[in-house]
């Protein structure tokens, strides 16, 4: 597949599902960049939402000047701030390496191993299906676990607003004040209505966005690694089953001399070496992106 050529869904290896990365915007972002070298509107909107969320870590940097801090409170505040920074870092790394991700789309296709003869493609499809199903299960598991974690934490807030605003020591000793989702401080009276409700909605959206964004980019890496594993497995199968007799039989040529048989075999080996070098280039890219 030529660089810059659009990767269509029908080109994907057998059994591979792109449901989540397609409907969450990553697939169109990468295919658009692969085609035009430009970022699409969806990715720009994702970055805009992330930038809007920058207020959270900014407020946490400011908070030591306005509230008392001890080790327990600092840990709670820092934990949530680091989670947000992790999301921003993953999104930034993806942006910086989007050209490499566009190249790695080729790994998800079923025709990049050019040395594979037609009579071996049926077994190759079985390999693709087996590893694709495993990849699909990993991606589905990531979405389910993220959904459960986000839903549980959002509907069952545990952080005491009064503790964050006015107390130090053990948070369990503070029994008054509304509960909130994240351990964050804000330059508003967030222990009282209506600010308590506004902060709850803000943290609900922020935590959901952070959780699903991290899961999404982890999913992209998982798909790239698993599909590269599938390609390596198919090439390994091809090498293990390499047989001079079969090569001659399926070449359609008869009455070949020993020298001609050796030539056919060496041409097959040369094609395999080219495919192996191609997969190693993809492997190098994927390692750099991990």
80 within a domain of the structure (yes/no): yes
26 within a domain of the structure (yes/no): yes
- pTM for the full model? 0.87
Give me the pLDDT at residue 287, please.
87
79 within a domain of the structure (yes/no): yes
Give me the pLDDT at residue 1, please.
57
249 within a domain of the structure (yes/no): no
Q: For the chain, what is the HEC assignment? A: CCCCCCCCHHHECCCCCCHHHHHCCHHHHHHHHHHHCCCCHHHHHHHHHHHHCCHHHHHHHHHHHCCCCCHHHHHHHHHHHHHHHHHHHHHHHHHHCHHHHHHHHHHHECCCCCCCCHHHHHHHHHHHHHHHHHHHHHHHHHHHHHHHHHHHHHHCCCEEHHHHHHCCCCHHHCCCCCEECCCCCCCCCCCCCCHHHHHHHHHHHHHHHHHHHHHHHHHHHHHHHHHHHHHHHHHHHHHHCCCHHHHHHHHCCCCCCHHHHHHHHHHHHHHHHHHHHHHHHHHHHHHHHC
Domain count for the chain, please give it: 1
Rounded to a whole number of angstroms, the CA Rg of the chain reads 26
Give me the pLDDT at residue 57, please.
92
Range of the domain at 112: 9-240
Give me the pLDDT at residue 41, please.
93
64 within a domain of the structure (yes/no): yes
Q: How far, in Å, CA of 284 to CA of 290, rounded?
A: 10
Give me the pLDDT at residue 136, please.
96
Contact 236, 276 (CB under 8 A): no
pLDDT tens for the chain, residues 1 to 290: 555 678 888 999 999 999 999 998 899 999 999 989 899 999 999 999 999 888 999 999 999 999 999 898 999 899 889 888 888 998 999 999 999 999 999 999 988 999 999 999 999 999 999 999 999 999 999 899 999 988 998 888 889 999 999 988 888 888 888 999 998 999 999 999 999 999 999 999 999 999 889 899 999 999 999 999 999 999 999 999 988 888 777 777 777 778 888 888 899 999 999 999 999 999 999 888 87
Give me the pLDDT at residue 249, please.
76
Q: How far, in Å, CA of 84 to CA of 100, rounded?
A: 25
125 within a domain of the structure (yes/no): yes
Give me the pLDDT at residue 3, please.
57
246 within a domain of the structure (yes/no): no
């Amino acid at each position: 597949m030529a660089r810059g050529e659009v990767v269509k869904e029908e080109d994907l290896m057998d059994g591979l599902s792109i449901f989540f990365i397609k409907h969450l915007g990553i697939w169109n972002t990468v295919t658009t960049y692969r085609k035009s070298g430009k970022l699409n509107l969806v990715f720009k909107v994702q970055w805009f939402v992330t930038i809007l969320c920058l207020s959270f870590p900014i407020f946490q940097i400011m908070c030591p000047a306005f509230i008392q801090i001890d080790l327990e409170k600092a840990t709670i505040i820092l934990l949530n701030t680091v989670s947000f920074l992790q999301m921003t870092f993953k999104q930034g790394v993806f942006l910086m390496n989007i050209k490499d991700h566009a190249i790695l789309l080729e790994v998800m296709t079923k025709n990049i191993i050019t040395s594979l003869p037609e009579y071996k493609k049926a077994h190759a499809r079985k390999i693709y299906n087996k590893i694709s199903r495993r990849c699909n299960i990993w991606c589905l598991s990531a979405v389910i676990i993220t959904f459960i974690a986000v839903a549980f934490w959002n509907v069952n807030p545990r952080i005491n607003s009064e503790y964050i605003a006015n107390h130090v020591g053990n948070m369990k000793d503070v029994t008054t004040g509304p509960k909130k989702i994240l351990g964050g401080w804000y330059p508003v009276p967030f222990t009282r209505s209506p600010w308590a409700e506004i902060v709850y909605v803000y943290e609900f959206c922020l935590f959901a966005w952070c959780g699903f964004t991290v899961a999404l980019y982890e999913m992209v890496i998982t798909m790239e690694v698993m599909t590269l594993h599938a390609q390596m497995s198919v090439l390994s199968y091809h090498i293990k089953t390499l047989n001079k007799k079969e090569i001659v039989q399926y070449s359609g040529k008869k009455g070949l001399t020993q020298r001609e048989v050796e030539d056919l075999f060496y041409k097959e080996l040369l094609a395999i070496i080219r495919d192996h070098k191609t997969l190693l280039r993809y492997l190098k890219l994927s390692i750099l992106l991990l």
